[in-house]
Amino acid sequence: MRTLVIGNGAREHALAFSLSNDPAVTEVHVAPGNPGIGGVATLHPAVKGEDAAAVVALATELDADLVVIGPEIPLVAGVADALRDAGFAVFGPSGSAARIEGSKAFAKGIMASAGVKTAHAEAVGPGATEEEIAAAIDRFGPTWVVKDDGLAGGKGVVVTPDRAAAIAHVHEVHAAGNPVLLESFLDGPEVSLFCLVDGDTVVPLLPAQDHKRVRDNDEGPNTGGMGAYTPLPWLPADGVQRIVDEVCIPVAKQMVAEGCPFSGLLYAGLAWGADGPAVVEFNCRFGDPETQAVLDLLTTPLGGVLAAVANGTLAELPPLEWEDGYAVTVVLAAEGYPENPVTGAPISGAGAGDETRGVRAAGVAEKDGVLVASGGRVLNVIGKGATLVEARDAAYAELATIDLPGGHYRSDIGLAAVEGRIAVPE
């Protein structure tokens, strides 16, 4: 199977690495990729994921059997549709189905029709007056959830007990020309559950938890994600099945009923409150950084799994198999991330071909034969172990061998779970 992965982050590095380990996969290509992925895939740096014509041309040149689209922007822009129209098997939803991430109003409508629990939400457009903004703010709180209603890759949300900070974020989003979504705050520990979806067939992967704030103890601004662990020792034994039954299957069925069936990876971001799981948001693609940890425990060859979704045969796929134990992934970020990431610092102790050490590269470029930071989240390191403690120790021990001047990472990924500080409300 000749495979082409679209995207350039650590998530795409993880996808490419897992595909390269599938005996049925003969070729792995990534476009545009990053130089850290070059050990397991042929890179096509000139092809940007949002450029549907260029992606179709590359898939044609490679005679690709399977195209896997990583990020949301090409999915929302309809790149999967262009590939399907050209006859390719694609892992990733149509532009119409990708609205589950691209349009929060669409997602809320699907959830309302499907009877799925989620936060109450209200949109405030860029034309709103100061009085209208203040009135809307006062219908929410005392913890405010202020979201950029455009595609923000998980970075456009501010959760704050500070009314002035909430209003400041409304202004910031409006200044960029986007509407704001105010949401009621959902209490309870967060869960990321990724489901393979093919129409109304839903197959869950292992549940994971992301750490979105930049600093230890969930302090500082939100980021794209600073680390994750999987599975979740504190989740009730029937937790995944409840999320599938109460959230993912009803949503998948509703999308079929509305004429926009989902095919690809449906990411349910949830808070587990006193009434069980409630949806914080949906994404139409694998999450980053959770994917890096989740895929590292998957032993079923990935190419066949993704091809089953792309070819509409997910219902016939045998049950997925997983390694026992835990995986933890920690993000090494550039100085100044998330506000003003500093680029150009050299990375020592990690390079292309370090996948078995757990390294997955994201914001990296090559300069004079070495990798340098070129983005906010620079790379991930994954550790695995029989226990969450061992997995954490493995990840942090490997990270200690890598140096990025000015770089920073959280030291508490998975720690609250290890210390028994996470519990679902009764």
Q: Give 7 or 287: the residue with its C-beta nearer to ligand GLY.
A: 287
Judge contact between 36 and 361, C-beta under 8 A: yes
Minimum distance of ligand GLY from residue 74's CB (angstroms): 15
CA dist 342 and 408 (Å) reads 12
Segment near ligand GLY (CB under 6 A); pick from 122-130, 143-151, 282-290, 322-330: 282-290
CB of 331 to ligand GLY, least distance (A): 10
Here the tokens at position 313 are 């045969």
Binding region for ligand GLY (CB under 6 A) out of 103-111, 169-177, 287-295, 397-405: 287-295
Is residue 9 involved in binding ligand GLY (CB under 6 A)? no
Q: How far is the CB of 188 from ligand GLY (least distance, A)?
A: 17
CB 60 within 8 A of CB 85: no
Q: Least distance to ligand GLY from the beta carbon of 287, Å?
A: 3
For ligand GLY, the closer CB: 97 or 137: 97
- In this structure, how many other beta carbons lie within 10 angstroms of the beta carbon of residue 45? 14
Among 22, 198, 288, 354, binds ligand GLY (CB under 6 A): 288
Residue count, binding to ligand GLY (CB under 6 A): 7
Stated as kind and residue range, the H or E segment containing 181 is: strand 180-183
Our CB check for ligand GLY shows the closer of 92 and 225 to be 225
| 287 in Cβ contact with 224 (< 8 Å) | no
Site string for ligand GLY, 228-247 (x = CB under 6 A): --------------------
Closest CA to 40 of 12, 73, 67: 12
Query: What one-character DSSP code corresponds to residue 248?
Result: I
Give the sign of the dihedral formed by CA 100, CA 157, CA 182, CA 117: positive
**262 in Cβ contact with 100 (< 8 Å):** yes
H/E run at residue 187 = none
Helices (H), 42-196: 52-62, 72-76, 79-85, 99-102, 104-114, 130-138, 163-175
Name the one range near ligand GLY by CB under 6 A: 25-33, 283-291, 372-380, 388-396: 283-291
**Closest to ligand GLY by CB, 153 or 273:** 153
227 forms part of the interface with ligand GLY (CB under 6 A):
no
3-class state of residue 35 by DSSP: helix
Cβ neighbours of residue 345 under 8 Å, at least 6 residues apart? 334, 335, 372, 373, 404, 405, 406, 407
Residue 210 makes contact with ligand GLY by CB under 6 A: yes
Considering the rule CB under 6 A, would residue 329 count as an interface residue with ligand GLY? no
**Rounded least distance, CB 380 to ligand GLY, Å:** 12
At closest approach, how far in Å is the CB of 42 from ligand GLY?
26
Should residue 398 be labelled a site residue for ligand GLY when binding is judged by CB under 6 A? no
Please state, in angstroms and rounded to a whole number, the distance separating the CA atoms of residues 50 and 354: 28
Smallest gap from residue 395 Cβ to ligand GLY (A) = 17
Q: Is there binding between residue 290 and ligand GLY (CB under 6 A)?
A: yes
Q: Binding ligand GLY by CB under 6 A: which of 49, 207, 287, 301? A: 287
- How far apart CA 182 and CA 141 sit, in angstroms, is 10
Q: How far is the CB of 55 from ligand GLY (least distance, A)?
A: 21
Asked whether position 154 contacts ligand GLY by CB under 6 A, the answer is yes
Using the minimum distance from each CB to ligand GLY, give the nearer residue, 154 or 188.
Answer: 154
To ligand GLY, the closest distance from the beta carbon of 283 in angstroms equals 5
The nearer residue to ligand GLY, 225 or 239, going by C-beta atoms, is 225
- Strand-by-strand arrangement of the 66-69 sheet: 42-43, 27-32, 2-7, 66-69, 90-91
Contact 69, 32 (CB under 8 A): no
Q: Based on the number of CB atoms within 10 Å of its own CB, is 326 exposed (0-12), middle (13-18) or buried (19 or more)?
A: buried
Among 283, 292, 374, 380, interactor with ligand GLY by CB under 6 A? 283
| Contact positions vs ligand GLY (CB under 6 A) | 154, 210, 225, 283, 287-288, 290
